[in-house]
Amino acid sequence: MRISRSGTDAAVGPRQGDLFAQGPPALDPAAAVERLHLDDRSWIDVSSRWLCGGDELLELLAARLRWTRAERPMYGQMVDEPRLGAFVRPDSPGAPPLLDDMAGALQARYRAGFNSVWVNYYRGGDDSVAWHSDRIGIDPADAVVAIVSLGGPRRFRLRPAGGGRSRSFTLASGDLLVMGGACQQNWEHSVPKVSAAPPRMSATFRRTRSRPTRR
C-alpha cells in the first residue's frame, strides 16, 4: 500500500506486479493494521495484504454477481455512472463463501454487525467515483465502513467534507481500508480517473438499515 498525508502518493513497499494477488483467495489473520486519526472524531485503519488471491476473487465476483449501472443527473440530463455495481448479502446462498468469512473477520475486530456488501467494478482507468460520503442506511456520525480492494491498484482519496487538502492511498489487491468514527460525517472519499488501469473492484462491507445503492 502507498500512503500520502500531503496529497501525493508516498511508497510504503513494492506491491504492483507481485504474486500475492494470485492463487486461491484466503484471509491473513496476522496482517498488521495501522490506525490513522484524521481528526479528533474520525479515523481509518489500513492493512496491506489482508487478503491473498484477490485476483481470483475478482474473477469469481465478475462472473457471479448481477451487475448494474446506475444513472445520475448531469447538466440537465441523465448519464450513466462511470462504473458497475452489485449488491450482495455476505451470507446469502449465491454469495462466494469467502465474503461471509471476510464479514466475520471484520465483525470480530470492529463489532459493527456487517450485513451487506456493495461491490464497485472499475473496468479500466475511465471508471471512477466522485467525492462523496456513505450515508444511505447508516449513521454517518458513528459508522464503520470497510473496503477490500481486488485487482489492479488504484488511488483512493480522502478530504474534509466540503473540500480541503486531500490524502491519497494507493490500494493494491488484497488491501483493506476501514473508515470509522465520524469519518462519513466529517470526510469525503473518491476514486479518480486515471489514464490507464487494469480492472479493479472494491468490496464495501457495512451494517445498513436499507439496501445501499452505490459506492
Question: Which of residues 28 and 72 earns the better pLDDT score?
Answer: 28
User: How much is the pLDDT for 19?
Assistant: 60
- Can you spell out the DSSP letters for the chain? -EEESSSS--BSS--TT-STTSSS-EE-TT---EEEESSSSEEEEEETTSEE-HHHHHHHHHHHS--B--EEEETTEEEE-SSEEEEE-TTSTTS-HHHHHHHHHHHHHH-----EEEEEEE-STT--EEEE---TTS-TTS--EEEEEEES-EEEEEEETTS---EEEEE-TT-EEEEEETHHHHEEEEE---S----EEEEEEE--SS-----
Residue among 208, 215, 70, 39 nearest 131 (CA) = 215
pLDDT band at 16 (very low <50, low <70, confident <90, very high): very low
Q: Is 85 within a domain?
A: yes
CATH code, 142: 2.60.120.590
Tell me the pLDDT band of 6, cut-offs 50, 70 and 90. very low
In a domain? residue 103 = yes
Place of cell 467534507: 161
Residue 212 lies in a domain: no
- Indicate if the pLDDT at residue 7 is higher than 60: no
106 to 18, 27, 200: CA distances (angstroms): 25, 11, 21
pTM for the model? 0.86
The total domain count for the chain is 1
Bridge-partner residues for 190, per DSSP? 157
pLDDT at position 135: 79
> Per residue in 53-71, is it b (16+ CB within 10 Å) or e — as a string?
bbbbbbebbbeebeeeeee
Asked if the model's pLDDT at residue 126 lies above 80, the reply is: yes
In a domain, residue 1? The reply is no
pLDDT at 21: 79
Residue 5 lies in a domain: no
For residue 14, is it within any domain? no
pLDDT in tens, 82-111: 999 999 999 998 899 999 999 999 999 999
Q: What integer pLDDT is reported at residue 76 of this predicted model? A: 60
| Residue 22 within any structural domain of the chain | no
Query: Quick one: pLDDT at residue 192?
Result: 98
Determine the average pLDDT of the residues in 165-185: 97
Contact (Cβ atoms closer than 8 angstroms) between residue 161 and residue 185: yes
Cα 70 to Cα 64: distance, rounded to the nearest angstrom: 19
The whole domain housing 176 covers: 31-206
Is 155 part of any domain? Answer: yes
